[in-house]
Structure 1
Amino acid sequence: MNFYHLIVNLKPIYLPILLLTAQISLIKPASAQNSVQATPVDNSSPRICPANLPSEIQKITTRPLLAKARWGIAVETLSGGKTLYSQERDKYFIPASNVKLLTSAAALTRLGSDFRIRTSIYATDSPKQSLLLVGRGDPSFSNPQLRELVRQLQAKNYTQIEELKVSDRYFQGTTTHPTWEWEDVQYYYGTIVNSLILNQNAVGLTIYPQKVGNPLNYVWSDPLAVWGRPVANESLTSEANSAANLQLIGIPGKSLLKIQGQLPVGSQPESQSLAVIDPAKYFTDSFQVALLSVGIKVKAVKFLSTTEAPNPETEVAFVESPPLTDLLMEVNQNSNNLYSEVLLRTLGAIKQPKQDYDVSVVGLSTIKDTLKQIGVDPQSYIIVDGSGLSRHNLVSPDSLIQTLKAMDKSPYASVYRQSLPASGMNGTLKNRFGNAVNLIQAKTGTMTGVVALSGYITPTDYEPLVFSIIVNQSDQKAIATRQSIDEVVILLTRLRRC
């Protein structure tokens, strides 16, 4: 069955879903970072003097609960640079998503707050009535933007496209970092980073119990995202009082997905958001469906193997992303890995490297150069990706302090700071520090054995502070480590001049 017949057959059932559904809800597995809420910490205790701060912090960091953990802490006044507390601040730690502080600082400094990512369609002469689709990695591109491209082509009276050329080569090089863990790359937060992104390269999977003894039922949120992907359903609906035990298992190097385990009969369905394994095809197939819905047929599709530089004057349709100001809100407040990795590759792509050069490598070099220019010691960190998903990233609290202070002096200081989660208000701090609302703007970071928090604090009775706290090698659940970090931060909000 060819694609044209496929989408005609799908149209009665799936077309309203494909064209009208907004961006899918992304649900992390329990192991994903920043998904666990911390217990609110009471900050109603008396104010403390800076001289007493070290002993108060050490009461928290030396508790038996975290005796095996390694703490890196740096606390300074924002303007004067006076150190109030320091513990292994110049040592390397795995930072998790605190890497995003470095990526977003470099992107904002190099690209500017109004930078936008453009997805374009160009007219081509060979053959006539052919189009060239060029993606440049817009991570916010979703179904409404797809329909907008179609609307513009319809307005130009297109009824048939002889050949649709597809360029997914703006981001050359690796699409998934080789040091990301296999479990992570199966889920949306470790999805492929390419040039044609649709719905964050993720697809929802909902699994339902059936009658006892029967396999579980499963439904994809968008059939085109998984067209042709084999699923081995080895699951079972179990007795009502049995334990739920559901596993999604990907096979390295293959597209096969195994569903194993069980859900009790009558229990609530389980939902996950998985990575799309061929996002360029998903984008292109969805585009063809959208074109067909308004009567525009594509006769042939050709994926380009090399980068083609189009003539800007032949652009017939385009969509731009929101400005970088808005993209950074998604990077830092919601800790979006895809957005962060796109910014890394954009920093590499704008330097127009040679053909077939890895833009992520160029992007890492650009981050290093840019941060050095604003005063961040290049020896104080080693990063291998833009999001912090790799455990090969090594960052010192010092490097984060230097970055935060440099950005506070930047022309983009307010944009950078507002991109961070605010305590008790938004992002990954919405449900933390409920008694210290908006006193803390900081980036979270969590992976197994790692919890981090770095940012700014505005105490009510003391001058503004900058801080970085990273805990590694913890054998406790993230919520327990996070609770201890929160207690340290609440101490900082209680500082007073004395």
Structure 2
Amino acid sequence: MKFKRLTAVGRTVGCLILFLGFPLGLKAVYAEAQLVVSPQSIVSGKQNSATNICPAQLPEAIDAIVDRPEHRRLHWGILIQTLSPSRTLYSRNAQQYFIPASNVKLFTTAAALLQLGSNFRIRTSVYGKNGVLRLVGRGDPSLTDAQLRDLAQQLRRQGIRQIQQLIVQDGYFQGLPLHPTWEWEDVYADYGAPVNSLILNQNVVELQLSPQELGQPVKITWNDPFAAWQWQIENQTLTAASGGKSEFEVNGILGKSSLQIRGQMAIDSPPEVLSVPVRNPGEHFLQHFKLALIQEGIIVGQSQVIDSAEKTNEPELAFVESPRLSQLIADTNLPSNNLYAEALLRTLGVNNSTMPNQYTDSLGLNLIKTTLANLGVDGESFILADGSGLSRRNLVSPLSLVQTLQAISQSPQAEIYRISLPVAGVSGTLRNRFKDTPAMGIVYAKTGTLTGVVTLSGYVDAPNYEKLVFSIMVNHSNQPARIIRSSIDEIVLLLTQLRRCE
């Protein structure tokens, strides 16, 4: 079954289109000593002297890809350097601004790792006395129903059987749960879920679509019993004949808590599931926590969500913690998870007390800027609007990304950061790119995709040359993302073929 979901294809997370993979379609001609190398020999992974190129030949080879007629309207930004010591092997528009898409996550996770440390955890606590319990959420993006059950079980083991008043506190992060510069269709998609202090199940819920009788609308049911309180569904679907094409389009309706689902489903199709964001995450969290308490035999009286950062003097009765930050940044970069990135940005903001009376995300952005500037990254070379890259107001140069990758490679956290990145042909958003090519397993890089934007930045362990760092950014494209990725991948494959030449 095919879902067309709020033009999610081509958005920042875009895991669906990335995981589907695509033919590399390599067309570049690699030459050394007047030898022409076929693309097939590179794709098949065959190694011979003809597939190697000298650094001096690299600019011409890259220009041959970038300057193709079909690319004449695209805006390219490229910077390629050796890792240590730093030497520039190729540069094109390296200091100009580009919309970076999810390459922004490289800044966010680098600053989080350097400021908070790899062992940092996010704690969710329950405080209380005299029949009043207060849960304080601190924006743990990994929190699930399993952790809520853990909290309820801890309370029961302490002999708590009745709660007169339950308060869940949603004010640890101050500001808007949705960035004002995100496009409206994004906030109706699961990759644009709201970010608050009380995150549960990544603030998304699932719909199941099942065929009914021929000619009847498809049956749409919520997998979460509380989700129906937040969304209204306009069901414009049809159960089609056996063997027919199954395809849906899901659209949000601007200004309304409504989803319009259109399309058809073959009568013999198995049920399908899609995800949508939670509209009121604080209330959603409260209802799930109440359910966890009731399932443990704890009676709950009054309950409410409060938007407060007020600290409490009540004793801590129960708590759960997130995985270590080293795991959280991997969970951010590998699948390109927007919610994780935004939660880390706000966690940085809470830890930035130098500029009070600002929204938490703004404080986080200021701390990213300061952290990277202290590492030697040019503060004028990037402007960040959010922590995930979903905003089109992010403006980033290839230089700033390469400087960030260079700087953190010299830090004690270098290896933790590196293994948080997708690996070519192996993991994350690169698992279906570069398969059975010389790049497989030796390229660690962050992908980025928005409509008209394709980016890739990271490291290459060139087997016959030095370690490399690179950033390749394409903006203003009217071509399918898979076509642009193919050309970017050709450039990366060139880097894997570098060798030392006298």
Pick one of 29, 35, 38 that aligns with 2:22.
Answer: 38
What secondary structure does 1:162 align onto? strand
Structure-2 separation of matches of 1:433 and 1:293: 48
Query: Does the 8 Å CA contact 2:175/2:359 hold for their aligned counterparts?
Result: yes
Change (3 A) 1:228 1:474: closer
What secondary structure does 1:366 align onto? helix
Structure-2 separation of matches of 1:451 and 1:31: 9
Pick one of 276, 279, 284 that aligns with 1:277.
Answer: 279
TM-score normalized by the length of structure 1: 0.90
1:83 pairs with 2:88:
yes
Pick one of 142, 166, 175 that aligns with 1:164.
Answer: 166
Query: Does the 8 Å CA contact 2:361/2:386 hold for their aligned counterparts?
Result: yes
Matched letter for residue 114 of structure 2: T
Query: Does the 8 Å CA contact 2:124/2:321 hold for their aligned counterparts?
Result: yes
Q: What is residue 146 of structure 2 aligned with on the other side? A: 144
Structure-2 separation of matches of 1:28 and 1:70: 23
Q: What is residue 119 of structure 1 aligned with on the other side? A: 124
Q: What is residue 418 of structure 2 aligned with on the other side? A: 417
Query: Does the 8 Å CA contact 2:405/2:458 hold for their aligned counterparts?
Result: yes
- Consecutive unaligned residues of structure 1, counting only runs of 5 or more, are 1-25
1:433 pairs with 2:434:
yes
Query: Does the 8 Å CA contact 1:153/1:316 hold for their aligned counterparts?
Result: yes
Structure-1 separation of matches of 2:251 and 2:367: 36
Q: What is residue 361 of structure 2 aligned with on the other side? A: 360
Structure-2 separation of matches of 1:194 and 1:457: 36
Matched letter for residue 343 of structure 2: V
1:470 pairs with 2:439:
no
Query: Does the 8 Å CA contact 2:6/2:186 hold for their aligned counterparts?
Result: no
Percent sequence identity is 50
Query: Does the 8 Å CA contact 2:6/2:252 hold for their aligned counterparts?
Result: no
Structure-2 separation of matches of 1:84 and 1:301: 61
Q: What is residue 21 of structure 1 aligned with on the other side? A: none
How many residue pairs align between the two structures? 469
Post-superposition offset of 1:234: 2.3
Q: What is residue 350 of structure 2 aligned with on the other side? A: 349
Matched letter for residue 260 of structure 2: K
Query: Does the 8 Å CA contact 2:230/2:279 hold for their aligned counterparts?
Result: no
Structure-2 separation of matches of 1:27 and 1:183: 6
Post-superposition offset of 1:345: 0.6
1:295 pairs with 2:297:
yes
Pick one of 194, 199, 202 that aligns with 2:201.
Answer: 199
Query: Does the 8 Å CA contact 2:10/2:449 hold for their aligned counterparts?
Result: no
RMSD over aligned CA atoms reads 2.0
1:328 pairs with 2:333:
no
Matched letter for residue 104 of structure 1: T
Change (3 A) 1:380 1:457: same
Q: What is residue 57 of structure 2 aligned with on the other side? A: 52
Structure-1 separation of matches of 2:291 and 2:15: 36
Structure-2 separation of matches of 1:68 and 1:268: 44
Post-superposition offset of 1:220: 1.8
Pick one of 91, 94, 99 that aligns with 2:104.
Answer: 99
Matched letter for residue 30 of structure 1: V
Query: Does the 8 Å CA contact 1:28/1:35 hold for their aligned counterparts?
Result: no
Matched letter for residue 474 of structure 1: S
Post-superposition offset of 1:63: 2.0
Q: What is residue 403 of structure 1 aligned with on the other side? A: 404
Over residues 253-291 of structure 1, what are the superposed CA-to-partner deviations in whole Å (9 max), with x where a residue is unaligned?
321222223334334544321101111111111111111
Post-superposition offset of 1:62: 1.7
Query: Does the 8 Å CA contact 2:243/2:268 hold for their aligned counterparts?
Result: no
Q: What is residue 71 of structure 2 aligned with on the other side? A: 66
Q: What is residue 189 of structure 2 aligned with on the other side? A: 187
Over residues 1-49 of structure 1, what are the superposed CA-to-partner deviations in whole Å (9 max), with x where a residue is unaligned?
xxxxxxxxxxxxxxxxxxxxxxxxx999534424322335445361000
Q: What is residue 386 of structure 2 aligned with on the other side? A: 385
Q: What is residue 13 of structure 1 aligned with on the other side? A: none
Post-superposition offset of 1:73: 0.5
Structure-2 separation of matches of 1:380 and 1:51: 27
Q: What is residue 248 of structure 2 aligned with on the other side? A: 246
Over residues 137-158 of structure 1, what are the superposed CA-to-partner deviations in whole Å (9 max), with x where a residue is unaligned?
0000012111110110011011
Structure-1 separation of matches of 2:163 and 2:356: 29
| Greater mean deviation of Cα atoms: 233-242 or 99-108 | 233-242
What secondary structure does 1:300 align onto? strand
What secondary structure does 2:194 align onto? coil
| Greater mean deviation of Cα atoms: 477-486 or 229-238 | 229-238
What secondary structure does 2:51 align onto? coil
Pick one of 424, 448, 471 that aligns with 2:451.
Answer: 448
- Consecutive unaligned residues of structure 2, counting only runs of 5 or more, are 25-42
Q: What is residue 34 of structure 2 aligned with on the other side? A: none
Query: Does the 8 Å CA contact 2:348/2:364 hold for their aligned counterparts?
Result: yes
Post-superposition offset of 1:206: 2.2
Query: Does the 8 Å CA contact 1:27/1:272 hold for their aligned counterparts?
Result: no
Change (3 A) 1:305 1:423: closer
Query: Does the 8 Å CA contact 1:34/1:445 hold for their aligned counterparts?
Result: no
Change (3 A) 1:355 1:164: farther
Q: What is residue 223 of structure 2 aligned with on the other side? A: 221
